[in-house]
Structures are given as structure tokens and as C-alpha cells.
């Protein structure tokens, strides 16, 4: 067994994908992704861009963007080399936007009667612009540009015919923003500006009232759903805290859920629910505080779903270790270890790599790993195969290949269960973190590095695709409640329980046992 840190943070490691087919002796080659059936969404252009001919999502540039490239290119030179507009505001290469000033990028976002931004650009810019400007500041600037360009200032007579398709276009942009990044609108300043600009447009275009109403309804529904989810998490955490005061085991996970497959399916329910509620912007905001914003990080951050998901991973790891170390009889510990190995195997078959890694991490925690007499009675063959799949050496190359092959293999998946892919989440966050760290925010001339925006959007779009799947398994409330609220031992309690299972064998363990007992008595 390899030794790993049981608590996973949100930093380190980078990405290096390769593809090969996978198979494990005694394991089904299930798993899944969402690329077989693409749910209609604002992310479709990016999410579906998987074929070799379209490996770079930046090449999904819409006609609006291409027309802008045509405007700026020099005659006779095609798209070779850099293409710069007359004010050096936007820089293109081979038809792709590479860089530009913040003002120019904002202007490129704002639609007119004749122009509408490609939605891949819209997503990439709205996602990463928060590295330079808070969302409510960006929306304020967008509204300001709309009013000045279209002469919508109060007191001016508005010519609807002259405005043309501007009204429908700006409503579409706002609709995409609320669909892509709804959590931005938890900020009252965002909601206020959204209502003001939409009311202004509806006054000019009464026929758009129904569409605006639908946008507001969908947005409020999403924000209400998020609030209910957060309240449910608070209730679960409160119950778990209350039960910590009465740590008297009366049953265990094997009795509560005898079937390893059933537990793997219930873990998948928890994973998908928590994954679904993470907003794309939370990845960027996780490191936005280290960038150019002259503001409080808390002023922009309105959610903590990403942190809650990492905490869930740690809880599952500690639950696994607790369930093993709580048994004084060796045969019961052996039974529990073999049970969790089977659960991990079922997680692998489902495509739930996050729970798989949490279970492996729990069994590799020191209080469990040191139980030599217990492990001597365990058939470790299946566990060693699973460990190989999640081996952290070579930057998790085995796991990355497994994940990539699973995504590739399920292109033709039809059943919902075959579409499930739940990545090892902490590694995904670390990859995004290092993508941010490894690319400069600005070029030497001060322009924003939009190449970085494209890369962030591409990686986060994959996550968006994964989280859109519906969990096809039947919920078992008693199992979910046990997993989410049953007390887990602290690090010291685990160590003490481990030493009570198998006494310390060397001077280090004896000293550790002595220190733990002293700390527990305080």
C-alpha cells in the first residue's frame, strides 16, 4: 500500500493525459461520461468539442467572431501571424482571440443590432473576467455601454426601428449570463442592475416581456434551489455535530447496508448532488483573491460549495477509517476492510472516482495501515488493483489514463448509469489552480492574456458536462443518513482506537500512544 495524506487540500499537481483501454480482472469496464448524449445547454458548443478535428474548443468561433477577425486582418496575409485591430485593442491569431485590453474585451461582449458574441467567448469571458473585475462592476459597464451606444439614456427619444435586433440580443446575453453563472446574481447589486436593464428593454420591446419573465423565473428557481441545498447541508452538519456527543456504536455500515453495490450507489447520489451545486465560477474565485482585484475576496464570494465538496471527501475517508477501527475483534475488522474494498470496486465500475479515492485514502490512513495482524488476514489482491488505478506516482498517470479511456469508451452510452463520471475532485481543482498559476494574467504590453481564459473555460466545461447527469439509482434514506451524519472519530480518537485494536509495536508507536492518551485525557 502506498502512503497518502488523508486530508486533501486544493493545491498542487498538473495535467498530462494519455489514452489506453482499461480493464481490471474481475471488474466490469463500466464507468461513463456524458458525451454520448449532450443535454441542450448554453455549454453545448464547448462540451461537445471532443473529436480530433476539434480538440481545441477555441476553434469553435462563431460567425460574429470570425467577422471581427475579417475586419482586422491585413489583406493578402490570410490568418498567418498576429492580426491586430487599429487600436491594438484585440489581438487574433489564426482566427482565435489571444489578448486584448479589458475595455476592448467588454466591448466585444456587448451586442448590437448586427453583432452578437459567440457563446464560447461569452462563457470564457464571464467566467474569468472576475480575475480583473467583480461581476457587478462588469454588468454595470455592460449596461453603461448599451445605453451610450444605443442612446438609451433617460430623456432621449428612442427609435425602436433604428435599434433593430439590439433588444432581443441584449436580453439573450443576459439570459445566457443567468444560465451560465446564476450564482453571480446572489449579489443584490447584480439583481438590481438586471431588473433595471430588462425593464428598460421591455419598455421599448413589449414583446420581450414573456422572455424576460422566463429568465427571471428560471434564475430565481436556481437560486432558491441553491438555498435549499445549503440549508439541507447545515441541517446535516448540525445533526452530525449533535451525534458526536453520543459516540456509542450500536451498529456499523455492514449491518446498515449489507450490499457493497448499494452503498456505492448511495455514495454516487451524494457525489452527484454536491457536484451539481458547484458553480463554474467557484473554481476561478478560489484563486481570484490572489490576483488584481482591489477588493475584499468575501465581497465577491457568495457560495462555499467547492469547499463543502472537499470536506465531504475528508468525511468519507474518516468514516471508512472509523468503521474499521471501531471493532475490537480482528475478524470484524477484516470483514469491514473487505467490504470497503468491494464498495471501492463498485465505485470504480460506476465511474465514481471521487468516492473510490476517498475510500482508498481512508484505508491508507496510519491508524488503519498499521494494523498488520488485521491486514494479514485480508485478501489484498483487489485492493492492490484499485490502488494501482489511483496511484499518485507520475502525477496520477494511471488514474488520468483510466478517466480518459472511460470518457472515450462511453461515447455511445445509452443508459443513464453509463454516463456517470465523477472525477477525483481535489486533483481537478489542483489542475485548474496550476493552470492559473502557470499562465500569466497579462502580456508584457499590459493586455489580458485571453489564451488563459480559453484554457480555463475548456477545462471547467468538462466539469460542467460531468455534473449534468441525473443519478439513476434509487435513494435509500437510511443509508444516506448514516453515511452523512454518523459520528466519525477524530485523528486522535482513531489513533487511540487503533492502538486498542493492536498494541504499539515499536518505540515510535509507544510514544505516539502515550501522547494521544495524554491529549485525550485533557
**Residue 469 CA: distances (Å) to CA of 148, 241, 416, 422:** 42, 31, 7, 10
Q: What is the pLDDT of residues 209-242, one digit of tens each?
A: 999 999 999 999 999 999 999 999 999 988 888 7
| pLDDT surpasses 70 at 19 | no
Domain range 88-219, CATH architecture: Up-down Bundle (1.20)
Residue 471: per-residue pLDDT: 93
Closest CA to 484 of 213, 271, 258: 271
Q: What is the mean pLDDT of the chain?
A: 81
Average pLDDT over residues 137-144: 96
> Predicted confidence band at 77 (pLDDT cuts at 50, 70, 90)?
very low
Query: Sign of dihedral through CA atoms 168, 173, 176, 181?
Result: negative
Q: What is the pLDDT of residues 235-244, one digit of tens each?
A: 998 888 877 6
Domain boundaries, the chain: 88-219, 249-289+300-521
φ/ψ region of 472 (left if φ > 0, alpha if ψ in -120 to 50, else beta) reads alpha
Q: At what angle do helices 393-409 and 381-389 cross, to 10 degrees?
A: 90
Contacts of 117 (CB under 8 A, 6+ apart): 62, 64, 65, 108, 109, 110, 111, 173
- For 450-488, letters b (16+ CB in 10 Å) and e give bbbbbbbbbbbbbbbbbbbbebebeebeebbebbbbbbb
More confident position, 414 or 51: 414
Cβ burial, residue 155 (10 Å; 0-12/13-18/19+): exposed
Q: What is the pLDDT of residues 328-351, one digit of tens each?
A: 999 999 999 999 999 999 999 999
Q: CA-CA distance, 36 to 154, in Å (whole number)?
A: 50
> Predicted confidence band at 84 (pLDDT cuts at 50, 70, 90)?
low
Q: CA-CA distance, 280 to 285, in Å (whole number)?
A: 9
> Predicted confidence band at 407 (pLDDT cuts at 50, 70, 90)?
confident
Helix (H, G, I), strand (E, B) or coil at 253: helix
Average pLDDT over residues 350-378: 96
Average pLDDT over residues 467-482: 93
Residue 418: per-residue pLDDT: 85
Cβ burial, residue 331 (10 Å; 0-12/13-18/19+): exposed
Question: What pTM value is reported for the model?
Answer: 0.80
Average pLDDT over residues 408-416: 74
Q: CA-CA distance, 8 to 208, in Å (whole number)?
A: 48
Residue 462: per-residue pLDDT: 86
Which of 57-61, 92-96, 484-488 has the weakest average pLDDT? 57-61
Q: Which fold has domain 249-289+300-521?
A: Son of Sevenless (SoS) protein; Chain S, domain 2 (1.10.840)
Residue 38: per-residue pLDDT: 31
H-helix segments, 304-445: 305-325, 330-350, 353-363, 366-369, 372-375, 381-389, 393-409, 425-438
Residue 514: per-residue pLDDT: 93
> Predicted confidence band at 34 (pLDDT cuts at 50, 70, 90)?
very low
Which of 14-23, 39-48, 149-158, 305-314 has the weakest average pLDDT? 14-23
> Predicted confidence band at 40 (pLDDT cuts at 50, 70, 90)?
very low
Helix (H, G, I), strand (E, B) or coil at 448: strand
Residue 414: per-residue pLDDT: 78
Cβ–Cβ < 8 Å for 354, 397: no
Q: Which three cell numbers stand for residue 6?
A: 488523508
| pLDDT surpasses 90 at 287 | no
More confident position, 412 or 454: 454
Amino acid at each position: 500500500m502506498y502512503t497518502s495524506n488523508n486530508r486533501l487540500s486544493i493545491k498542487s499537481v498538473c495535467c498530462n493525459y494519455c489514452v489506453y483501454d482499461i480493464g481490471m480482472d474481475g471488474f466490469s469496464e463500466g464507468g461513463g461520461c456524458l458525451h454520448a448524449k449532450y443535454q441542450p445547454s448554453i455549454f453545448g458548443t464547448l462540451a461537445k468539442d471532443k473529436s480530433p478535428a476539434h480538440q481545441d474548443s477555441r476553434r469553435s468561433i462563431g460567425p460574429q467572431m470570425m467577422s471581427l477577425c475579417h475586419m482586422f486582418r491585413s489583406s493578402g496575409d490570410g490568418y498567418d501571424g498576429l492580426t491586430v485591430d487599429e487600436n491594438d485593442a484585440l489581438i487574433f491569431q489564426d482566427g482565435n482571440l489571444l489578448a486584448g485590453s479589458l475595455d476592448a474585451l467588454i466591448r466585444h461582449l456587448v451586442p448590437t443590432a448586427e453583432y452578437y458574441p459567440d457563446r464560447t467567448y461569452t462563457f470564457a469571458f464571464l467566467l474569468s473576467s472576475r480575475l480583473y473585475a467583480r461581476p457587478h462592476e462588469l454588468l454595470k459597464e455592460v449596461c453603461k455601454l448599451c445605453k451610450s451606444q444605443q442612446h438609451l439614456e433617460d430623456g432621449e427619444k428612442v427609435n425602436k426601428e433604428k435599434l433593430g435586433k439590439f433588444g432581443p440580443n441584449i436580453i439573450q446575453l443576459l439570459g445566457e449570463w443567468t444560465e451560465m453563472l446564476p450564482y453571480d446574481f446572489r449579489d443584490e447589486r447584480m439583481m438590481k442592475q438586471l431588473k433595471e436593464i430588462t425593464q428598460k428593454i421591455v419598455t421599448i420591446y413589449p414583446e420581450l416581456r414573456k422572455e424576460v419573465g422566463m429568465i427571471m423565473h428560471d434564475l430565481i428557481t436556481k437560486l432558491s434551489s441553491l438555498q435549499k441545498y445549503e440549508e439541507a447541508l447545515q441541517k446535516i452538519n448540525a445533526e452530525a455535530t449533535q451525534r458526536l456527543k453520543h459516540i456509542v456504536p450500536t451498529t456499523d455500515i455492514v449491518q446498515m447496508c449489507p450490499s457493497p453495490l448499494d452503498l456505492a450507489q448511495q455514495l454516487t447520489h451524494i457525489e452527484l448532488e454536491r457536484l451539481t451545486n458547484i458553480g463554474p465560477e467557484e473554481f476561478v474565485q478560489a484563486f481570484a483573491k490572489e490576483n488584481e482585484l482591489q477588493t475584499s475576496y468575501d465581497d465577491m464570494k457568495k457560495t462555499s460549495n467547492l469547499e463543502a465538496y472537499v470536506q465531504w471527501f475528508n468525511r468519507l475517508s474518516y468514516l471508512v477509517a472509523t468503521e474499521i477501527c471501531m471493532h475490537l475483534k480482528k475478524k470484524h475488522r477484516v470483514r469491514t476492510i473487505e467490504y470497503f474494498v468491494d464498495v471501492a470496486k463498485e465505485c470504480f465500475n460506476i465511474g465514481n472516482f471521487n468516492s473510490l479515492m476517498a475510500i482508498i485514502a481512508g484505508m491508507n490512513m496510519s491508524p488503519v495501515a498499521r494494523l498488520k495482524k488485521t491486514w494479514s488476514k485480508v485478501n489484498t489482491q483487489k485492493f492492490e488493483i484499485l490502488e494501482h488505478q489511483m496511484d499518485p506516482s507520475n502525477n496520477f498517470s494511471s488514474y488520468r489514463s483510466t478517466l480518459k479511456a472511460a470518457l472515450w469508451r462511453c461515447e455511445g452510452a445509452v443508459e443513464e448509469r453509463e454516463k456517470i463520471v465523477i472525477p477525483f475532485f481535489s486533483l481537478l481543482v489542483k489542475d485548474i489552480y496550476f493552470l492559473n498559476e502557470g499562465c500569466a494574467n497579462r502580456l508584457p504590453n499590459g493586455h489580458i492574456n485571453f489564451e488563459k481564459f480559453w484554457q480555463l473555460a475548456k477545462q471547467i466545461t468538462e466539469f460542467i458536462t460531468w455534473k449534468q447527469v441525473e443519478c439513476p439509482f434509487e435513494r435509500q434514506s437510511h443509508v444516506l443518513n448514516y453515511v452523512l451524519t454518523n459520528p466519525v472519530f477524530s485523528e486522535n480518537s482513531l489513533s487511540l482506537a487503533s492502538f486498542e485494536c493492536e498494541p504499539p509495536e515499536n518505540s515510535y508507536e509507544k510514544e505516539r500512544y502515550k501522547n494521544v492518551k495524554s491529549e485525550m485525557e485533557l
